[in-house]
Structure formats: C-alpha cells, structure tokens
Amino acid sequence: MTRVLVVGHGMAGARFVQELRTRDPGRRFELTVLGAEPEAAYNRVLLSSVLAGSLAPAEIETVPSAWYAAEDVELRTGVTVAAIDRRRRRVLTTAGEHVPYDHLVLATGSRPWVPPIEGLTGDDGELDRDVAVFRTLGDCRAMLARLHRVRHAVVLGGGLLGLEAARGLAGRGIAVEVVHPADRPMERQLDLDAGRVLARTLRSLGVHVRLNAGAVRFTDGWGGGGRGLRLEDGTRLPADLVVVACGVRPNSALAAAAGLETGRAVVVDDTMTSVTDPAIHAIGECAQHDGQVYGLVAPAWEQAAVLADVLSGGPARYGGSAVVTRLKAAGVDLAAMGETDVDDFADGVEVLRFADPARGTYQKVVIRDDRVTGAIMLGGPETVGAVTQLFDRAAPAPADRRALIFPGVAASSADAADAPDDQTICRCNGVTAGRIRAAGAGTVAEVAATTRATTGCGGCRADVAALLASRSTVEVPA
C-alpha cells in the first residue's frame, strides 16, 4: 500500500484527498492528513460572510469529519509539522512524532504579512490585542468575539481580502475606514476608472476607502481614552480594531529547510511534483508553477485534481489557470479577469466600456484577435457569464460587440437556462450545464451535494437556479 501524507487541511489539501479517493476505489493509497488548524475543512472564501453574519461557521464546512472515517482517511487536526526528513521519507511534528510517507503532498497555503507599522505588534512579535489578521476561521471567530466593543475599525489593505473584511464589518454597523497605499482599490485587477466606481459603491455601503495612504503608528491616547491609527499625512483615525489585510506570503519555509527548490513558493512541474524530489508535491498557494503562484481557490482545486490523477497513474498535466477574480461582498457584484489596464488605442486592441458610476456600474471588455483577453464587470451581472465563458475558452467574440455588455442585444448574452451542455457554469469546480442537468436535482442544495457547483465562491448560484427552473414549471428554491 502506498502511503500518501498530506500536510495542510485547507481548501487545496481537503480537495486533493477527495479527488484521490474518487480515483482509488480499491484503496491502494493509505491516506493521512495533518492539519495545523483545529477546524474541520471549511470554505475560506466565505469567511467574509461569516464575519458579516449572513452565514454561521458551520455553514461553510466543506468536508464533514465523518467523511474521513467512512473513506478510511486518517485526519489529524491541530498538528503542526516542524521538519521534513527526505532521506527517511518522514516528517517530524512539533509534538516530536515522526510520520512516514511514500508521497508527501504540501498544501500549506499562505500566511498573512504584517507590515512593520509601529504598534501593530508588541516586543514579543505578537499582534496587539486590538489588531487582527483575517485569514482563518479562528481569526474570524476572534474578531466576532470582540465586535460588541468595536465602534470604529480600520482595515489596512484595499485588495480583495481587505475589502471583503471591511464590508463584513460595515454590515455589522461598524464605521469602517480602509487605508490603501495605491491609487485605487484592487489595483492588480482594476483600472483607475473601475477603482473609482468601486470606491464610490463601497462608500454607499458604509466603507470609506482612503487611497494613496499609509499608516505609521497604532497608538493609545485618542480622544476619550481610545486608540487610533496615525497616517503618513498626519491624519488620525479612531480604531477600536485594526484588521491587517496587506497580502500573504506562501508557507514554503518547511520545503526550503528540507532543501527543495523554492522561489516565491515550492517550485513544481506540470505534474505538481517538486523539481527537486519526485516523492514530494505541492498544490495551492504554496506551489509555484511556471513562475506563477495562484492565490485563488479555482487554480488550487485544478491542481489538486491533476495531482490526484497523476498519483493514480493518469495522464493529467497542469498547464496553468485562467484566473477570474470575484469580490464576495454584500451589495457588490464584481468579476475581473485577464488584462484590464490597457491602452484603449493600442494597435490590435478593442476596448468596450460602459460606466454609470451613480448606479455602481462599470463594464469593460478587452478584445485581441477577436478573443476576449480581459474584462471588468462591476454591477449589472447580466452578461458576466457570457464574457467569462469567452475568456475561458478563447472563443470568438460576437460580431455585435454590444452583446458583451448589454443584455438582450444578441442571443449570445448570458442566459444560463439556455446554456449548452458543455458550457461551464461553476468555474471553481469545473461543473458544466450538462452535469447539472444530468444530476437530476431539484434544488440548488442538491446540485451542490451532487456536483459541488456553488461550493466555491458561490458566484454561480443564480445560474444554477436558472438551469433548474428551466427544467421545471414549479419554483426552484435558491
């Protein structure tokens, strides 16, 4: 029996175990999972919904603990690995235990980066009592436990995670300021105009974004004896809570200490195998493939499926992922993909654009050689499905380009009910319209249980509901 040891029980590690067991009906693999967190596997993407109060922690669980026992998988939570012994093919835990392996799968994810701002940490390097990171369910629970005494919160970082945390806090009635050093929020995904529209939309939802701003000190002695954050320009912001969302760093130190090649993360080939040791593999945020480190769930799940197939003797190879970023915040509907900040008048480029800032709408589609190579779809989600499909498949854009922005202009607009069977509805899990129809399910929940559709970012939920409704004359609960 081949011993497969998985280090990491996040979204990548948990999915890999499921994928491998699906391909292993004869139980050729002895599977052990070591997770540093004490939690059951959960959907980290939905943490902002837990923070906002729209979901309970139990509702974001992805793999029930009972599944592991039923599938003869040894799951050990609250276990941290201290070292890898490549010569003896075993790992050493911080408790002093050695766990052997034939194949080691690193799915250790990332850790938050805390900038060197005075007052965020104490002399011991630990976070101040009123400073939090937003990365795990434990982090989320810790914030929830203190919200009863928080009136003002400052979020450091206006990227995807920072905005989701800010919107979640604002949904609790807390006054929220986002401090961001760039000239727009989500500058890696949005152009300047889209960033402005997004900032305006967030302001209407109770989140004020301060751009081109940097913090220098978190300090006591605020008005009324409170605490606050001082900015570089001298501005003082009251802050009962500071949430750090300034980016993450891959957890690759364990691999580097074992002599594996690392760049920004563990360097792997197309089989998700370390280029240094054929017995060690990496997936998710701790893996670097072809120079890329992906920080989203869909690529991690693609990598998990490839590695499971490879270990099972299959031909799968990973060729990289076409990334679509979705902001998951109540009241904001945003998807961004590919190249977005391009010169409208560059040779060989078509740029379609529609903006209605007062209504929170900004849509932009970039076309090269008759193919969609980038898009920003903020507000007005009616055509995002069609644009995403064209981007994913590199399929020809419609002759009437207006159909990419305005629904109803042409038949190619996104109508999930009429989607062909081979059209992908759930990008996170790669679920097509045909699979959803074939599942024979009557509700979105049944579709999720059967196909996993909607269990990633949740952005396809309305499309799944539309597919189901098209098959029945009765109303399908969403």
Which architecture characterizes domain 331-407 according to CATH?
A: 2-Layer Sandwich (3.30)
Decide: 262 and 252 in contact? Cβ < 8 Å: yes
Per-residue pLDDT of 111-122, as tens digits, reads 999 999 999 999
**163 vs 221, higher pLDDT:** 163
Per-residue pLDDT of 326-349, as tens digits, reads 998 888 989 999 999 888 888 889
- The domain locations on the chain are 2-110+250-311, 131-246, 331-407, 415-478
pLDDT at residue 427 is higher than 80: no
The answer to whether the pTM exceeds 0.95 is: no
Identify the burial level of 321 via C-beta atoms within 10 angstroms of its C-beta, where 0-12 means exposed, 13-18 middle and 19 or more buried: middle
Q: Which CATH superfamily is domain 131-246 in?
A: FAD/NAD(P)-binding domain (3.50.50.60)
pLDDT at residue 123 is higher than 90: no
3-state secondary structure of 438: helix
Model pLDDT, residue 475: 41
Decide: 169 and 243 in contact? Cβ < 8 Å: yes
pLDDT at residue 301 is higher than 80: yes
pLDDT band of residue 471 (cuts 50, 70, 90) is: low
Helices (H), 190-274: 192-204, 253-257
Which CATH number is 415-478's, of 2.40.50.140, 1.10.275.10, 1.10.10.1100, 1.10.10.10? 1.10.10.1100
What's the fold here for domain 2-110+250-311? Answer: FAD/NAD(P)-binding domain (3.50.50)
Model pLDDT, residue 336: 95
- Nearest one of 392, 394, 159, 185 to 298, comparing CA atoms: 392
pLDDT at residue 179 is higher than 50: yes
The reply to whether 331-407 and 415-478 are identical in fold is no
The residue type at 362: Y
